[in-house]
Structure formats: structure tokens, C-alpha cells
Amino acid sequence: MDLATVVGVALGFALVLTAILLGGDVVSYLNAPAVLIVVGGATAATMASQPLAKFLKFPRVIAKTLFAKTPEPAMVIKQIVALAEVARRDGILALEGMIGEMQDEFLVHGIQMAVDGTDPEVIQSVMETELENLLDRHEAGKGMLDALGMYAPAFGMIGTLVGLVAMLSNMDDPSKIGAGMAAALLTTLYGALLANIIFCPLADKLALRSAEEAFLKTIVIHGVMSIQSGDNPRTVESKLITFLPPAQRVALEEAKAA
């Protein structure tokens, strides 16, 4: 998880805590049953909406996607252009020896198919299927965060309704009405906090990470297809460089000059 997410989530909770401390004592805001109904209820509803195997596997998928370091697009392009140079100079078979040094499995798979002389249409279709299925798995992970972000406020409201009914059924002692209302509102507060500080931002983050990975893999697909078709390294580069924003193109040029 990069710094922004850690800092953002921590900052969100710190701000709410500050607001609470400025307004009174923290004790009125702590309520174990309220935590139970919001966290437990949202988890239960999300679990009910998922096949068991997926529900158990999701946390790992999410963690992996959030923590994984995505390489810089410019670095990936540099690497592909280097491969194109070798392929041009020593023939495409020479790339086989370089596979051991590559870290991106997706690139390895593509180059391997090119080296094996696989039909270009098959290479493209296999790589695109692989990318599509990866995105489907990310989408499923995002689906769980979206569900949590939707069910947390819903169970917050359910908890508040339960509390209101309890309070309204026992209004003999008017001095307790305020405390009863306050307790009832806590679940709504918890639901809103969980949804807006954790679940919804993480779901958005996951979607951006997934888009970044799709973007990188699209560059790799274009690169492998270009190498396979025997393009000269300069053509490969000029095809791939259009994926970069102008600023990064300059950075790439400078990296090359250095």
C-alpha cells in the first residue's frame, strides 16, 4: 500500500478523533454492540453475497493488489526497446537467453510465445485473454470492498433503528432520552466512518491500481507484437512512447541520453 493510502486513512481517523475530543469525552463514542452490528453485519452481508472460496481468498487478492509495486511505464518501455534491439541484431531466438533476467511474468509469457514462433494472432489473443481475466479478478476484489462500503452504512441505519425503537418503547424517564438517542446514532456514525474512510477509498484505489496494471500490460502487448513482427527498435519505441504523458517522454529521452 503506498504512502497516500496509509496517510489518508490515518488522517481521516485522526481528524474525526480530534473533532470528538474538542466536543466532549471519547467515552460517549465507544460502544461495543455498535461495533458488532456495523462491522459484523457488513461482513455477514458481504459473505452472503459471495461464494465461500472467493470470500476467503479476497483479502489476499486485495492486499496483493494494494501492496504490489507497479513498475514505471517508462522503465517497461526501455526494457522492451532493449529486447527489440537484441531481436533485431541477433534474431528473435536470442531473446530466449534473456528470459531468465525478466521479472514480469506477463512479458516472459509473451516473449516465450514469440520465440516459439507462435502465430501472432494467437499471441495477441492469449495475452489479451490473460489481461481480461486478470481484470475480472481485480473487479471481483473491488466488488467485495464496494459491498462493504454499501452494507456498513446500511447496518449503521439498522442499528440506529433498533436503538430508536428501544428508546421510544421506554420513555418513562425523560432524562435518558438524550443518552438513548446518542447511543442509537453511534451505529450510523460508525457505518459512515468505515464506508468513507476505509471501504470506499480502498475500492477506488483498487480500481486505479487495476487500471494502472491494465495500462502497463497493454504496453507490453503492443511491445511484444511489435518485436514479433520484426519492427526495428526505433519503431517499437515510437509506437510505445505515445502511451506516455509528454513529461514522461522527456524523462525517457533524458534517461536514454544519460
41: left (phi over 0), alpha (psi -120 to 50) or beta: alpha
Q: Shortest Cβ distance from residue 127 to a copy of itself (Å)?
A: 8
Q: For a copy of itself, which is the closer residue by CB, 90 or 211?
A: 211
Please, which residue, 82 or 161, has the CB nearer to a copy of itself?
161
Shortest reach from residue 78's CB to a copy of itself, in Å: 18
Alpha-carbon gap, residue 92 to 124, rounded angstroms: 17
Selection from 70, 79, 89 nearest residue 110 by Cα: 79
Distances (CA, A) of 146 to 42, 54, 62, 97, 249: 11, 15, 12, 44, 36
**Count of residues for the chain?**
258
Closest to a copy of itself by CB, 92 vs 205, is 205
> Considering beta carbons, is residue 17 or 82 the nearer one to a copy of itself?
17
Cβ-based nearer residue to a copy of itself, 95 or 144: 144
As measured in angstroms, the least distance from the Cβ of 88 to a copy of itself is: 18
| Residue 227 beta carbon to a copy of itself: minimum distance, rounded to whole angstroms | 16
C-alpha cell at 140: 471481483
CB atoms within 10 A of CB 45: 16
Q: How far is the CB of 90 from a copy of itself (least distance, A)?
A: 26
When the beta carbons of 66 and 86 are compared against a copy of itself, the nearer one is 66
CB of 223 to a copy of itself, least distance (A): 13
